[in-house]
A and B are shown apart, each in its own frame.
Chain A
């Protein structure tokens, strides 16, 4: 079974600075998707960024970018020019693409989350 590990329960960053959130995962599969989700205090979980494992290029969405290291099974999220609205719980997640994986290609497996605080 796949596992996702976020080793930083909490992080803090000064407004306008850059912060990197870590995520590692364990899988024996070669093709999969990785995600970062953000959950602000309002509790609505929203997708921040997505990476397909077969793509070597790191995904980028405005101030958010990832450092995807497939061999190391690492998927970190970098937030540049941090804003107060970035304060939230961030979850890393994995999804298989293998239709024979017993349902794993349907579901997301989440890490335990990293609580990001942005200081003014």
Chain B
């Protein structure tokens, strides 16, 4: 089975802190994604990466950056956390060309106080 692991399930951070959310997948997938999930808004794409060191902005990239130094790891970075970034963050991965199914991690609940 494909496994997408988000290292932190629950985090509480202070406004202005730098926050790292880590995601690792074990199936050699080329594509990785970070989504944000909020009630009534569904899932919105923050950033995605189609290969190592390659990244593309999604629909709501403001206030976030990402890093993909190794194929299996995709990190989401909040340079200066704000209260409006309190949310559930979902990481996902997918095979490259021809692969259709996206596999999700269990999510990271981030609260910014």
Contacts and interface: CB of A to CB of B under 8 A. Distances in A.
B90 A112 contact: no
Interface residues of A, number: 22
Contacts of A107: 33, 45, 48, 58
Contact of B104 (A45, A50, A95, A113): A45
Interface string B29-51: 00101010000111111001010
A108 interface: yes
Interface in B44-101: 44-45, 48, 50, 56, 58, 88, 90, 92, 94, 100-101
Given A42-B106, A44-B106, A45-B90, A110 B43 contact: yes
A45 B48 CA distance: 18
A33 interface: yes
Interface string A55-85: 0000000000000000000000000000000
**B31, B43, B101: residue with the most chain A Cβ atoms closer than 10 Å:** B43
A50 B101 contact: yes
A91 B45 CA distance: 14
B9 to A, nearest CB: 9
B40 A112 contact: yes
Interface of B: 31, 33, 35, 40-45, 48, 50, 56, 58, 88, 90, 92, 94, 100-102, 104-107
22 contacts: A42-B106, A43-B88, A43-B107, A44-B104, A44-B106, A45-B92, A45-B104, A47-B101, A50-B101, A106-B48, A106-B56, A106-B94, A107-B45, A107-B58, A108-B45, A110-B43, A110-B44, A111-B42, A112-B40, A112-B41, A112-B42, A113-B42
